[in-house]
Amino acid sequence: MEDLFARLERTLNPQLPSLTESQKQLLQELSINENQPGTIGHDFQTLIDFLQPNGVEVSSVNNLLPLKVLSEINSQLSHPIENKLKRPVQKSYPYINGLYLLLRSSGIAQIRSQGKKQILVLDETTLKSWLSLNPTERYFNLIEAWLIWGNSEILGEHQDSFGNLFRCIQFWTRIPDKGLKFAKYEEQQNISYYPSLHNVALLELFGLLSIKQGKPQEGKGWRIASLQRLPFGDALLHFLFPIGIRGELQDDVDVTFGKLQSYLQAFFPEWKHNLCVSKQGFTDGIYIFKVSVSRSWRRIAIPAQKPLSWLAETILDAFDFDYDHLYEFSYKDRFGRTIKICHPYLETPPFADQVQIGDLPLEPGTRMTYLYDFGDNWEFDVQLEAINPPDKKIKKAKILEIHGNAPQQYWSENNELNENEE
């Protein structure tokens, strides 16, 4: 292969990517089904089936799959792995970790609160759209869910500003034509961090490379003996990377599929339709929030039509804080991404005075963080307890309950002396 993209030199060229004739022919002649070019279609459906009909309870913090189901799911996949870890977690099964990323980033599965429990369930509307797609459409919509919308936050990791496409293409250029071999566990540590094992697993599931597994040692996890680039992987990544480097795959707040369709449809004319993700509209009613900070909390009612900035000011009133500082609200959306809504004086939209309470994709049990004063960093936990029917008597925000003394907004030596005297 032409020094593997001339070591990325061509990716900095604004011209459209050029493929060799053999690569063009490979793309044009490829017939996609649930087991070709990789087993992603089969394995993704396996995870969908596992969630039927009532979903699976997940961890409360990062909403990951519990230990008790991992072994069962692993045994049903096309590439089950061995590990000798005493207490494996979702990350210990890279294929499951990658498939979970696709479930969440596609919107086909989302987290629902049931009391104190967090349940991973299928979204019926989005699933119906998924089932209407043909194998080619499913394959490339999952490619987009991975390379465009797949955020490491979904897996309980820090947000990655580079994205999976950038990670994978950099890794790709480090794989020689003869492949990579790992004689010892220590030699595979680099790919554990970059591009990360779940991305390596997905490269195989999508049929871009092949992996030969080794026997794990006692107390250790997945063992990769070797991996090899496949011709389809060379062609597809060669084609996609220059598009991505120009920013044409830049993600947006709204998740929409079909960004790659205009580029690849010439090779795959059967790609005609895309996954439609169900969107939450305005939810009317009286929103009941429990807002906590330090050892105190307040219960607040606010009509759905009021902007989020009203809730911000009501929280400050409830805890006797002044209005002199900037703030932001943050929450996890249905795709596992952190969404921030900012003070109107900040530079990055959306802004709190332009977002109505009823527009927030919240349901009872979900939480937001209200960060106030970027110097002292007061963090208020804002939990939605209920959405009551609309009530014309409640026309503005109202403080319903007060529990505990509010913390002192500004600390001083006098505060400390008074506290010691008590």
Over the stretch 19-35, which tens digit does the pLDDT of each residue have? 889 999 999 999 999 99
Distance from C-alpha of 263 to C-alpha of 137, rounded to nearest angstrom: 14
Flag whether pLDDT at 167 surpasses 80.
yes
Flag whether pLDDT at 243 surpasses 60.
yes
Residue 292 pairs with which residues in a beta bridge? 297, 381
Across the chain, mean pLDDT equals 90
Smallest Cα–Cα separation from 205: which of 150, 284, 260? 150
Q: In this predicted structure, what is the pLDDT of residue 383?
A: 96
Distance from C-alpha of 202 to C-alpha of 191, rounded to nearest angstrom: 13
Q: What is the mean pLDDT of residues 214-229?
A: 95
Answer for the pair 312, 370: CB distance below 8 angstroms, yes or no. Answer: yes
Residue 388 pairs with which residues in a beta bridge? 286
Longest dimension (CA), the chain: 84
Flag whether pLDDT at 73 surpasses 70.
yes
Domain with CATH 3.10.290.30 in the chain: 286-421
Query: Which tens digit of pLDDT belongs to each residue from 380-409?
Result: 999 999 999 999 889 999 999 999 999 999
CATH of the structural domain 286-421, one choice from 3.40.50.2030, 3.30.465.10, 3.40.190.10, 3.10.290.30: 3.10.290.30
Answer for the pair 223, 82: CB distance below 8 angstroms, yes or no. Answer: yes
Query: Which tens digit of pLDDT belongs to each residue from 55-67?
Result: 999 998 899 999 9
Predicted TM-score of the model (pTM): 0.88
Q: In this predicted structure, what is the pLDDT of residue 53?
A: 93
